[in-house]
Amino acid sequence: MRRTRRHGRRSAARPVTAAVTVSLVAALAGGCGVLPELPEPMPTSVVPSVAPQADPVGSENLSPDGFDAVKRMAVRIRNVGCSSLSTGSGFALDDRTLITNKHVVEGSKSLQVLTYDGRDIQVETASAAGLADLAIVRTSDDLPSAPTLAAADPAQGDTVTVVGYPEGGQLTVTQGKVVGTATDPLHENLGQVLVTDAQVEPGSSGSAALNEAGEVIGVVYAKSTDASLLVPVSTLRAMLDDSSAFATLPPCS
């Protein structure tokens, strides 16, 4: 989920509910066409969560002292497009590699990455997966901290912690549990996605979802009133292992 403001008004996404009940709405984050109607018992539609971005903010310190490694690995991503401005979240994979969502970084003129302590990180390249809503951002500056990817997807009932920048504002940490799995309602990846009851907001797209050991078990990419959807770590690992899975994103025009 990223938040977006255009010259003119862009409708905010009201994504996902899945698992036992999936409540889905109709507009993809990039302003693409309406999704095909889902079969019962999923009566509505789904989209990545997007919301208007306030006026650009500077490199202020985003939160008080006291950040642990989990918080230091999270970044805020500002997508400056040719006619829009939006924000999303991401997290470090290693010293100079970030993971986020495709819909957070596509259609950009430039990408601005801000760390937990207000430091601007220079971006070199951004590439996106063809199947899942995932993207890789390479930086020329070192990132503060990187988590470990979990070896396997979590089980139903496992605790999940989401670390990101909802509404493009301060860093937040929210908790919930894994509700189950569902077929990806956005049809953007082949296989199942994770459904959790951790509450996320527009701007949370690209946030890392962590297990109790602080390992990444998924990447937030959509939400509903009472659920959030994650690209599972198994899908992330599969994409990272496939050299052809990601392609460089062209700039907006």
Domains of the chain: 69-146 (2.40.10.10), 159-238 (2.40.10.10)
Confidence (pLDDT) at 190: 67
Q: How many CB atoms lie within 10 A of CB 248?
A: 9
Instruction: Render pLDDT for 102-153 as a digit per residue (tens, 0 to 9).
Output: 999 999 999 999 998 889 999 999 999 988 899 999 999 999 889 999 999 9
**Is 143 in contact with 74 (CB distance < 8 Å)?**
no
Average pLDDT over residues 217-246: 93
pTM of the model: 0.75
Strand 97-100 with 123-129, pairing: unpaired
Instruction: Render pLDDT for 146-192 as a digit per residue (tens, 0 to 9).
Output: 999 999 999 999 999 999 999 888 899 999 999 999 988 876 566 88
Average pLDDT over residues 211-229: 91
DSSP 190: S
Average pLDDT over residues 62-91: 81
Confidence (pLDDT) at 43: 40
Instruction: Render pLDDT for 8-22 as a digit per residue (tens, 0 to 9).
Output: 443 333 333 223 333
